[in-house]
Amino acid sequence: MRWYTPVLGLSTLFAAPAWASNSSPSPTLSAALPAFTYDRRSFLLHGQPYVIVGGQMDPQRIPPGYWRDRLVKAKAMGLNTIFSYVYWNLLEPKPGQWVDNGKGKEENNSTSNNIAEFFRIAQEEGLNVVLRPGPYICGERDWGGFPAWLSRVPGMKVRSSNELFMRASEGYLNRLAADLRDLQVTRGGPLLMVQVENEYGSYGEDHNYTRRLRDILRGNFEVPLYTNDGGVDWTLRGGEVPGVLAEIDGDPRAGFAARDRYIQEPSELGPLLDGEYYTTGPDVWGSGNPHNAGAEDPAQMQRYVEDLGFVLGANNSISLYMFHGGTNFGFSNGAIWKNYTAPFVTSYDYGAPLDESGRTTDMYFALREAIGKYVPRGGVGVIPEPPKNVPLFEIGNITLSPMISLFDTLGEKTATTSVSPVTMEELDQDYGLVLYEHKVAASVEGGLQPGDRARDRVIVYVNGTKRGVIDSTYAQPAQVRLSLEPGDTLQLLVENLGRVDYWSRESGTFVALEDPYKGIKGNVTVGSEVLSGWDVYSLPLEAPPTERKSSPATTTKTTIDSSSPVFFRGTFAVESDGNSTDPAALDTFLEVPGGVKGVVWVNGFNLGRYWVVGPQQSLYLPGTLLRPNNAENEVIVLELEPDGTESLTAFGSAERRWANYPDPDYP
């Protein structure tokens, strides 16, 4: 049985170093005491008990212009520590190419990568931080945050002691540490702890791998290390690392008891921390998948409040996952494998206390009140009042006119010619679409099979006419039967919906993480016949077209007579007198109500995907992206299934909309 610390007086429990606006100690105190450590019962910050009241907030999901706003609101809810994942794929999109400031080739796929600046702002706002660098982070991100180029290294095996993976991981962690090392609490910064891997016990038992990660992190950081695993026997035993504090996530009642029952190694024991207490959950695309909104369930909200009391009332620590989720801008979402693909939506609202647009919610105030019972209301540690929500902006109807058919852009590209289809990764491509084109030489008839399985969504065209969709988001994807004659052109447009970052135990396999390949893998067959000879076009959609590439007559004919994807373009002006300097006053939610499925760019920035099936029906458009004072703003939409649409309309709403509708491709 665990010996719980008796409840301390509030002046001791939340001593000044835990809540002061700057957690740096005086020189005398720094010389006398370790900056951050722990005993069997308590974390200790400069020698004083420190209860972590934390929340997860990942800077790479948030416009950098809003970092301070989100951190101020975290402090005002009663948090004293921010937990942050770091996404390797955004920091090192190509081997050895480090992008640390959100600029360069990947700027339309990410927010900002300047993790050090985010940590500095957190400290300025009186918050400490905990680093969760992976290399695997899950987080509903594409391939759990791994860069896609890892899949192109022969012999690579991720999340293992495989030498190729260890070498790549060490390079990443060393480079990240170079940016963050001076921000450790031991050097006057806000960084308290670093996590080793992420819930590894749910995946494997290669303890040589996790020990080597421990040693890499020890070589780079002076602060304590910890692991975070599910609160059951097999996950804790799979994830434990000697000399590293073992912690849990999920239900704190079951998890805390399990930690002390199943972790017996003294060097892994210490104070209790629920490193991921789930506020609600992420959303996945699908007509039958409603939005997760925990605050709408009074019983669930009461459970959150009771759990906070259970943890904090015993002087234990907690981190809310998520406090603020942010957005999967661009193509950064991952997917869960359930023997079918369940891709996460563009929004990472997560039903969190601070919503996707950074506005406080009913949950925010309920949790703030619950935390307030354990935090002083006066003096150094007072919880400040949160700023009022800035009203969201509305943008009237924007007419989007056809710009160019996606297939009309192929003339600018060089096809890869291959006997058999090649995967997206073999094309040195990470995200977006791949088009496979085959000229039929002999009559063939039967069901179409696009490789070993659909990866992920295959739109089928014959002679420019859409014939069906094979979609791996269904346990039983639709069958498309074809009758092809010599001279016909078969086109398969394949969309990467997001690489798997996790899997349900019901799927009965862990191999999904080791199979990140997109496009078509294997032979394409119609009936029993293998189709050989393909022209393959890489369509990463790193940026939309910048100007009309074909005549108006050609574009109109293509749009009306064909069901092939079309880029639409429109412009709008923001009527602003320039008196407001707060870009949040221009925040809005963009809708394309006539669209079926596609991608939206605003002023060159990829907001992400939309899909009529829901649950997400509007895309968060941060005001930081807009040009005020009646300047021109550009919207470009790639509608994948226009079906003769001559124009589209978009508008910005002050209300975010969640809804589900039938899938027109699966009536």
Active-site annotation, residues:
199, 276
| End-to-end Cα, the chain, rounded Å | 56
- Amino acid (1-letter code) at residue 621: L
**Nearest partner of 240 among 267, 220, 216, judged by Cα:** 267
Contacts of residue 31, defined as CB under 8 A and 6 or more positions apart, other chains included, come to: none
Length reported for the chain: 667
Angle at which helices 298-312 and 252-262 cross, to 10°: 40
Contacts of residue 200, defined as CB under 8 A and 6 or more positions apart, other chains included, come to: 136, 159, 209, 210, 227, 229, 238, 239
**Nearest partner of 336 among 279, 285, 277, 293, judged by Cα:** 285
Cα–Cα dist 576/393, whole Å: 11
Contact 347, 275 (CB under 8 A): no
- Alpha-carbon torsion angle 136, 141, 142, 145, nearest 10: -30
Cα–Cα dist 514/99, whole Å: 25
Contacts of residue 221, defined as CB under 8 A and 6 or more positions apart, other chains included, come to: 177, 181, 184, 191, 194
Beta bridge partners of 444: 484
Residue ranges of E strands in 355-432:
395-405, 416-418
Distances in Å between the Cα of 412 and the Cα atoms of 265, 403, 462, 549, 559 are 62, 16, 22, 10, 19
Q: Which two tokens stand for residue 356?
A: 């996707």
Cα–Cα dist 564/630, whole Å: 34
- Amino acid (1-letter code) at residue 240: E
Give the position of tokens 């995967």.
423
**Nearest partner of 325 among 617, 605, 62, judged by Cα:** 62
Cα–Cα dist 223/319, whole Å: 18
Q: Which two tokens stand for residue 527?
A: 């009936």
Cα–Cα dist 215/224, whole Å: 12
Contact 583, 633 (CB under 8 A): no
- Alpha-carbon torsion angle 135, 136, 141, 146, nearest 10: 60
Cα–Cα dist 319/324, whole Å: 12
